[in-house]
Amino acid sequence: MNTGTIVFLVILSILIIATVVLYFLGKRAQKKKAEQDEQIAAAAQTFPMLIIDKKRMRLNEAGLPQAVMDQMPKLMRRSKLPIVKAKVGPKIMSLIADDAVFDIIPVKKEVKATVSGIYITKVTGMRGALEKPEGKLSWRAKLKKKTAAANAYLEEEKKERAKKKALKQKK
């Protein structure tokens, strides 16, 4: 066998081994996530709260208790998390929101939130439904919107020219 074939077989075997390892690591991570979700659901309580502010910030800037900082893995300490400052009863607290819920949370409004420890898992409105924010437009949608606006502008220009022409012909 020539060297090209040997190199190809070595690379192919490495890719197959990496795929198998990633498959089993993914399965293990899914099991851990399911167990954590069960624990969060078991400890969940619903509280009315007034949302003061929400931001994505690092843990050391968030004002969370030191016990929370100590429990976080070192890699998570440097990443930005969705932090919500809310008034729960007489206390002002910093809470961590779920990524799926963070965009829905309204600022300076009262909501009912399902909280497990310091983790917000679900939010519902106190007075009516919450407004869902519009998602980001894709590049194609933005382009369609701009062309529609440009076409409408051109149509108005044509109408104004036709009116001016009609006025000149009457004179």
Dump pLDDT digits (tens) for 28-56: 999 999 998 888 888 888 989 999 999 99
Domain boundaries, given as residue ranges, for the chain: 1-42, 43-125, 136-171
Q: Which two tokens stand for residue 32?
A: 């851990």
Q: What angle do CA 147, 148, 153 make, to 5 degrees?
A: 95
Dump pLDDT digits (tens) for 73-102: 887 778 888 999 999 889 898 899 988 888
Give the DSSP per-residue string, 53-98: EEEEEEHHHHT--HHHHHHS-HHHHHSEEEEEEEEETTEEEEEEEP
- Where would I find the H helices in the chain? 3-42, 59-62, 66-71, 74-78, 99-102, 139-170
Residue 31: per-residue pLDDT: 96
Dump pLDDT digits (tens) for 102-112: 888 988 889 99
| Residues forming a β-bridge with 97 | 120
Name the band, by pLDDT with cuts 50, 70 and 90, for residue 14. Answer: very high
CA atoms of 170 and 158, how far apart (whole Å): 19
Nearest to 102 by CA among 74, 72, 82: 82
Threshold 0.75, pTM exceeds = no
Arithmetic mean of pLDDT over the chain: 88
Residue 23: per-residue pLDDT: 97
Name the band, by pLDDT with cuts 50, 70 and 90, for residue 147. Answer: very high
Residue 21: per-residue pLDDT: 97
Calculated CA dihedral for residues 65, 109, 111, 132, nearest 10 degrees: -110
Report yes or no: 85 and 52 within 8 Å, Cβ to Cβ: yes
DSSP state for residue 105 in the 8-state scheme: P
158 pLDDT more than 80: yes
22 pLDDT more than 90: yes
> Which option is the CATH number for 43-125: 2.40.160.100, 2.60.120.560, 3.20.20.140, 2.40.50.660?
2.40.50.660
171 or 151, which is more confident: 151
CA 83, distance to chain mean position in Å, is 12
